[in-house]
Structure 1
């Protein structure tokens, strides 16, 4: 087997057969960070740094680890200088999925087989710049070439979604949907919470000076998103908190926060528990999927956050969480009502999440997320979830990507890993090939299509 050849990640004959069966299935991407403006305006990109490094904190982290100066990562250096600095350290990041995604992108989208290095940086810069100037490398054309059927962006509840409305008529052949991202409404302890409440008032014309107005405004944005094709809400929360909390209690906490009083940990937890249940009720009413992303301690590296803001590569995974207790009331409250997908950053939480999913038919484990969406991480997760719960109930893949060009590469990596995991079971006599073919097709395409109602 050679680098990224036809047998990449496929270790058995059964795996090769299974991958062939799903390789060309359309892409359904229920969770990503695509730029809807970029897609609708369809102007394309000028150079390879724009599509590979300009928005990708995975790339930034790798460059920092190899000693590249921040000026050449997020600073004022030219894109050519940044690409050259990246290319020089690419051989040193082999083994990390960023290495494979980069080369898959170059191979699949540009037809470039050369490995990236200091020696090939200029050649690749020129070759990709020439291709990026073509109309066939614009965002909408690429989405169609990659066979993307559905993609769901990640959007603040206050978003006006005008570009999503335009996408209905202007993005041919791709179903582009918003996703209602509830973090700013739930994280009452965050510095920007009051500003968010004020923005919510402006977006909806509800008076958010009191809690009733705040929840009414939230519900109004939920309706607004639903009318524009939204199929899911999303919430990133460090540690889930669920317990019965009265509306009166949540209103008192909201009033304290609005007047600038400091909140106790108990008050923060009570407010989050009330909002989590409130959002769950809205989702059930609309038939939306509830996605909970658990365990990411964001903005951990203070210097990066202070200089660059969020999503700069300074987030970490935290394992010391009581996930089972934190979700207990919530999953009981919505037992059998609505679909709930649980993601985690720390693989140590898989046993808890997977056994919760095993106990509740409407709870599923989401794909290996963030630091785990490598062949190693996906292999481990698919094997574990499939043996403790059911692979048939796995939710499939999400790109979680800010780089449109990499959607196909991320899904290819997942599908090859899925085929390899299931192929090993065929080779070991754990299931017949025809059953395995149905299973991988179900996970790769039919399951997310059914789950999200695409």
Structure 2
């Protein structure tokens, strides 16, 4: 087998055949961090660093690991200097999925077969720059070339979705839908919560002086998103998911205290989050939306990086210290059979708990191997566990979870090849007939996400 050839990640003839059956299916991406302004404006990219490195936290982290100074990662160095710095250390990325993704991007999007290194950096820079000047390489055209059918962005409730409105008429061939993400509403312990309340006041016609007004304003944004085609809510629960019955009176008292700027106790913070989580669930259930729960991220863990670069700079980690079962049992029971729930767990040690919960609740599905687990190893391990404990046919499918548009195709290709290899092994071991295997991979790769999100 040669580098990224037709049998890449495929270990058997059955796997090769299965992948061929799903390789060209449209991409349905229910969770990503697309820069919608970039898509709608459809201006050409300037250079390969802009498309491969400028927004990719994975690239940044690995460059730092190999000693590249921050100036050539997120600093003031030119894009060419950053690209050369990346190329110098890129061979050392081997084994990490970032190595695969970037090379897949270069091969699939630009037709470049050569591996990226210090010797090829200049040639690849010049060739990609030439191609990026062509109208066929603008964002909308690239989305269509990757056969992207649906993109669901991640949006704050206070967003007025102006670019989504423009996308309806200005982006052809791709359905671009918003996703309602109320994280700032739940995180009452953060200084940014006060800013969210002010933004909510500005974005709605509801007075938020009291708690009832706050809830009405949230519901108003929920309705606004529904009018713009939203089909899902995305909630980041961090490391301390909590669901339990909390009275409206109790939540109202916490709201009043937070609005005054008083310090909240740990119990008050937990009760606030539990109340809001149930309230959000009720809104989603009534609207027929799918609720996506992201559990286990520890944000901005590396202090020096946060202090020098800021938020979302690649300093996040995961933790095993999450009580998934006790933390969410009330939520699962409260909405048992009432709405679809997709459960993403960041630490792979939570897969055993997540899969048994999904097995117990027919309306709970396991989301794709997320973030640090988005690799051939991580995807395969998760798919095998879901198949063995829950049902692979009920897996939620793939999402790009990416800020880098040109990599959507590469992310989905890695997933589909790994899916084909996992199911191909079942065929080779005599566990399932090929015809059933082919139906299964087609279902997980395309039909399941459309079914799950009502697309």
Match of 1:326 in 2: 327
1:302 positional shift: 1.5
Distance 2:289 2:311 in 1: 27
1:309 positional shift: 2.3
Distance 2:327 2:92 in 1: 40
Match of 1:337 in 2: 338
Match of 1:301 in 2: 302
Equivalence map 1:360-375=2 (5 Å): 360-375=361-376
Match of 1:261 in 2: 262
1:342 positional shift: 0.4
Distance 2:35 2:324 in 1: 32
Distance 1:43 1:332 in 2: 48
Cα distance per residue 1:296-321 (max 9 Å; x no partner): 00011122222222211000001111
Distance 1:9 1:263 in 2: 51
Distance 1:12 1:69 in 2: 43
Match of 2:272 in 1: 271
Match of 2:411 in 1: 410
SS in 2 for 1:293: strand
1:331 positional shift: 0.2
Match of 2:186 in 1: 186
Match of 1:251 in 2: 252
Match of 2:429 in 1: 428
Distance 2:209 2:63 in 1: 45
Equivalence map 1:88-99=2 (5 Å): 88-99=88-99
Distance 2:214 2:95 in 1: 47
Cα distance per residue 1:218-270 (max 9 Å; x no partner): 10000000000111000111121000001111111111111111111111110
Match of 2:314 in 1: 313
Equivalence map 1:216-227=2 (5 Å): 216-227=216-227
Q: Is the 8 A contact 1:11 1:420 kept in 2?
A: yes
Match of 2:35 in 1: 35
Cα distance per residue 1:83-125 (max 9 Å; x no partner): 0001100001110000000000000000000100011111100
Distance 1:86 1:217 in 2: 46
Q: Is the 8 A contact 1:38 1:44 kept in 2?
A: no
Equivalence map 1:30-429=2 (5 Å): 30-238=30-238, 239-429=240-430
Distance 1:179 1:242 in 2: 22
| Structure 1 unpaired stretches of 5+ | none
Distance 2:209 2:83 in 1: 48
Distance 1:76 1:304 in 2: 16
Structure 1 residues 170 and 80, CA gap change in structure 2 (3 angstroms): same
When normalised by structure 2's length, the TM-score is 0.99
Q: Is the 8 A contact 1:341 1:363 kept in 2?
A: yes
What is the root-mean-square deviation in Å for CA atoms of aligned residues? 0.7
When normalised by structure 1's length, the TM-score is 0.99
Q: Is the 8 A contact 1:241 1:326 kept in 2?
A: yes
Matched pairs, number: 454
1:434 positional shift: 0.1
| Structure 2 unpaired stretches of 5+ | none
Q: Is the 8 A contact 1:292 1:343 kept in 2?
A: yes
